[in-house]
């Protein structure tokens, strides 16, 4: 594991590289981010952002979603993949939010993960972006890049990555850190062909050092 000084330097470098640490999913209401994140499973954020304007126009309130036909929702989100399962989850989630949570998105991990289709990754995104609570979103970019940097032991298990990063990353930095890893994963640290030679993190990156990148 990295020394604290090295971790802080990595965080500062990422801040310089990606000063705007924001979620790439577009939304206006809390539940819209929740639903957009569900749609993003095995789908790009860019595709989700093309679909959600029509979806949220068709169902402008949480109550409208709760009363919607899953089949009709599915037709709108078909291009996101796994649309039948996702549509059922969105309608069921809306019903639970209306009936059990007074139409509000809950602010705890326990309550969020009770919602249909919501796992820890989605819950952490909501906790960090909506409620500004400490959060680690262990998505594919986070898992890959944290392992390459040496901030984790290289495990691919999302829960283990989350736990290891919670021990390493200052709580107030976690959410923005994960957003920056997504940006970094798209820009330079791709899964198959990372561009280590031009990466400002290469001096602190175990993967770059293993490749003897200078």
- Kindly list the catalytic residues: 121, 139
Task: Give yes or no for a contact between 199 and 205, defined as CB atoms under 8 angstroms apart.
Answer: yes
Q: 198 burial class (0-12, 13-18, 19+ CB within 10 angstroms)?
A: exposed
Task: Give yes or no for a contact between 123 and 117, defined as CB atoms under 8 angstroms apart.
Answer: no
d(CA 202, CA 182): 17
- Ramachandran quadrant class, 164 (left: phi over 0; alpha: psi -120 to 50; beta: rest): alpha
d(CA 161, CA 179): 15
Please, which residues have CB within 8 angstroms of residue 192's CB and are 6 or more apart in sequence? none
Please, which residues have CB within 8 angstroms of residue 42's CB and are 6 or more apart in sequence? 81, 82
For residue 152, the SS3 value is: coil
Task: Give yes or no for a contact between 69 and 94, defined as CB atoms under 8 angstroms apart.
Answer: no
- Tokens standing for residue 111: 């309550």
């Amino acid at each position: 594991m990295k020394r604290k000084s090295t971790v802080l330097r990595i965080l500062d470098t990422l801040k310089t590289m990606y000063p705007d640490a924001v979620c790439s999913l577009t939304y206006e209401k809390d539940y819209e981010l929740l639903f957009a994140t569900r749609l993003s499973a095995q789908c790009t954020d860019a595709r989700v952002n093309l679909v959600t304007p029509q979806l949220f126009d068709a169902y402008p309130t949480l109550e409208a979603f709760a009363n919607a036909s899953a089949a009709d929702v599915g037709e709108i989100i078909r291009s996101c993949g796994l649309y039948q399962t996702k549509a059922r989850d969105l309608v069921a989630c809306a019903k639970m939010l209306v009936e059990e949570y007074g139409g509000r998105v809950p602010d705890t991990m326990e309550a969020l993960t009770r919602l249909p289709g919501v796992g820890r990754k989605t819950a952490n995104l909501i906790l960090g972006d909506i409620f500004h609570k400490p959060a680690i979103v262990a998505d594919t970019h986070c898992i890959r890049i944290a392992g390459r940097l040496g901030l984790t032991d290289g495990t691919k298990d999302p829960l283990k990555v989350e736990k290891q990063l919670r021990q390493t990353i200052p709580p107030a930095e976690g959410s923005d850190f994960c957003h920056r890893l997504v940006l970094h994963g798209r820009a330079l640290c791709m899964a198959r062909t990372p561009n280590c030679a031009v990466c400002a993190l290469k001096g602190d990156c175990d993967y770059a050092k293993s490749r003897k990148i200078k």
